[in-house]
Structure 1
C-alpha cells in the first residue's frame, strides 16, 4: 500500500459499505444477508440450469455491491466471495447423480459471466473474478475439487442492461459471449456464476455459449437475486 493510501486510511478510516455507520468493512446487520444459507432462485429463464442464491438484491446489499464494483472497495471481495461459495456449494449436489464408489468424483469448473473489458479498465479491477477467486479458495479449503476457469469472453457490443425489460435483456445479450480458445472443460461439472440475477439473461447467454462449444453447464449460482415484485391490482 502506498504512503498516500496509508495516510488517507489514517485520516479517513473506512466505514461500513452498507450503512456508512460503523467503522468496519461491514457491520453485523449489513453482513447478515450474505451469511444466510443458499436457496433456489424462484424463477429462471429457459435454458438456464437450476440457479442457487444467497441474498435478495435490495437494501444495503445494493450499496455494498456498488461500493465493491464501482467505488474501489476491493476488500469486499471477501464477504461477497464467501456468499458466492455458499451458493456454489449448494448448487453442487444438483450437478450429478450419486456415482458408483469406483467412479472418481469429477472436478468442478466455476465459470463466471465476464465483464466488458472497458468496464474492467474503468473500475480498475474485475469484481466478479475477484469474488470467484475468494469462493474457490473457500471451497478448496473444504476439500472440494473446484477450479476457476475463465472460459467466456465478450464478442460483441452490449448496451447497459439497466432499465431494459426481460425480453430486451435477452435480445441485448443474444450472441454476446463465446468460449475462449483452448478452454479445457472436458470431464468437468460446470457451475455458472454471476453476482446478481435479475432476469437471468446473462447466465442464460453464458449457458448458450458453453453449449455452442460442446460444454454443458450443470448448475448456476449467484450472490444475490432481484426479488420478485407483485403487481398491484
Structure 2
C-alpha cells in the first residue's frame, strides 16, 4: 500500500530534482551529467577483499549522485529508477562487453536486500533500478533480463558502523541461490548488480553464492563480474 501511495503522489505533487532540489524537473542536466555523463570505470575498494569480482561503476558516490540514490531508496522517488537504471546499464556494458553475434542475454542478478529493509521502504529500490537497466540495454540492442535468484537465508546485522573485516564476517555464507536458479542462468552472461559498493563485502558474498553455477573455460567455477551505480571516489583506480 505504501508503495502505491508513493507512485500516485509522484504524479500530483510538485517535482524537484532529486539531486539538487531544482524545481520543475525530477533530474536536472547538471545532476544527470554527474550520474551518467562519463564512461563507467573499474572500481576497487581499499582494502580490496579477497574474492571480490571485477566491478565497474558508473559514478562517484558524492553530492548529487548520493542525493539521487537516497531520494530513490529512502524517500521513494520512484521516477528516479529510470535514470539510475541508465547509469547502471553503462556499468553493465563495461562489465560484460558484447563479443559478437550469438552471445546470450545479459542476466542482471541483484544483490538482495534484507526483507525487513524492503518492508520498511515499501519497495525494492535495487530491483527497480535493475529492471530499468535491463530495459535500457534492450533499447540499445543488448538482450537483457533481471534474475533475482539470490536470497538471504539467515539474518545479518546492520552493516552501518561495521569495519570492512566485520562486514565480510557478517555476510559470510548469508546468501543462497533460489531453487531452479541453475537452469535460469544457463545460456547467458550473469552480472551481479547493486546500487552502491563501499567495502565490497556484499559483492564478495553474492559472487561466492553465484559462482557455483558459473562454469569457467576449464570446467571449474569463476566469479561473475559486477556492475554498480556508484562507489566512493577513492575506489576508482
Question: TM-score under structure 1 normalisation?
Answer: 0.86
Question: 3-state SS of the aligned residue for 1:228?
Answer: helix
Q: 1:32 is matched with which residue?
A: 33
Q: 1:144 is matched with which residue?
A: 142
Contact map agreement 1:33 1:54 (CA 8 A) in 2: no
Contact map agreement 2:168 2:201 (CA 8 A) in 1: yes
Question: 3-state SS of the aligned residue for 2:162?
Answer: coil
Let me know the Cα RMSD of the aligned residues: 2.3
Could you tell me which of 226, 232, 237 is aligned with 1:226? Answer: 232
Q: Structure 1, residues 66-93: CA drift from partner, whole Å, max 9, x if none? A: 1101111010101100000010011113
Question: How far 1:214 sits from its partner (Å)?
Answer: 5.5
Q: 1:192 is matched with which residue?
A: 192
CA distance in 1, matches of 2:142, 2:110: 18
CA distance in 1, matches of 2:11, 2:207: 42
Q: 2:53 is matched with which residue?
A: 49
Contact map agreement 2:17 2:24 (CA 8 A) in 1: yes
Contact map agreement 1:177 1:206 (CA 8 A) in 2: yes
Q: Would you identify which runs of 4 or more consecutive aligned residues in structure 1 move more than 6 Å?
A: none
What are the within-5 Å matches in structure 2 for residues 15-30 of structure 1? Answer: 15-30=16-31
CA distance in 2, matches of 1:165, 1:76: 30
Question: How far 1:213 sits from its partner (Å)?
Answer: 4.9
Change (3 A) 1:9 1:139: closer
Contact map agreement 2:210 2:224 (CA 8 A) in 1: no
Contact map agreement 1:173 1:205 (CA 8 A) in 2: yes
Contact map agreement 1:92 1:219 (CA 8 A) in 2: yes
Q: How many positions carry a matched residue from both structures? A: 220
In structure 2, stretches of 5+ residues that fail to align are 216-221
Question: How far 1:159 sits from its partner (Å)?
Answer: 1.4
> Is the counterpart of residue 81 in structure 1 residue 85 in structure 2?
yes
Contact map agreement 2:34 2:64 (CA 8 A) in 1: no
Q: 1:208 is matched with which residue?
A: 208
Question: 3-state SS of the aligned residue for 2:193?
Answer: strand
CA distance in 1, matches of 2:11, 2:79: 13
CA distance in 2, matches of 1:136, 1:160: 29
Q: 2:218 is matched with which residue?
A: none
Bigger radius of gyration: 1
Question: 3-state SS of the aligned residue for 2:190?
Answer: strand
CA distance in 2, matches of 1:212, 1:135: 25
Question: 3-state SS of the aligned residue for 1:191?
Answer: strand
Contact map agreement 1:196 1:224 (CA 8 A) in 2: yes
Contact map agreement 2:208 2:223 (CA 8 A) in 1: no
In structure 1, stretches of 5+ residues that fail to align are none
> Is the counterpart of residue 68 in structure 1 residue 72 in structure 2?
yes
